[in-house]
Structure 1
């Protein structure tokens, strides 16, 4: 199975469990691997036959803008479910990083895989 990549997609959202975090937007940085068979799209040079990473990226930005969660884990789980449903993605790996959440670390976050490859 082939993989479409979206790397270092930055989104701003309300995320965090502390009261002060519930009133501000914070940046999350996402990396995605999305399983698909790119051969039909490559054969016909046809965007409609593959995963449109621009459309997926726009949907992720919209999702982040319209939702707020306490946990990065919840954000990742709900985003993965939405992407799989709306874009018919059989398998994905999603890494969500929250830069600056821990002063001594560049970022903290989670990496999840959902579906069958």
Structure 2
């Protein structure tokens, strides 16, 4: 399943690992926003908000357009697709493994029931 070291995927998971950054993504999913608008939405400083935004930009999850003195941010959900593919691979693995375990347990119970009836 892909490369051992995938910097792009690492950046996406790192960016999404923080609650503030996930909240920024959720806010941008509603509409584009200026950096100062985002900073007002959170109980952290403009400087801290900017640091979170840079991490999101590095992961490619946010793009910035400079319009005069304003910096307008837009959500780019595209990089999440690779993360979803990675998670889907492991979801299928666990789904298959748990189904096999369920089959085993059901067969074992039936065998045990047959043995107890014979005794």
> What TM-score comes out, normalization by structure 1 length?
0.22
Q: Which has the higher helix share?
A: 2
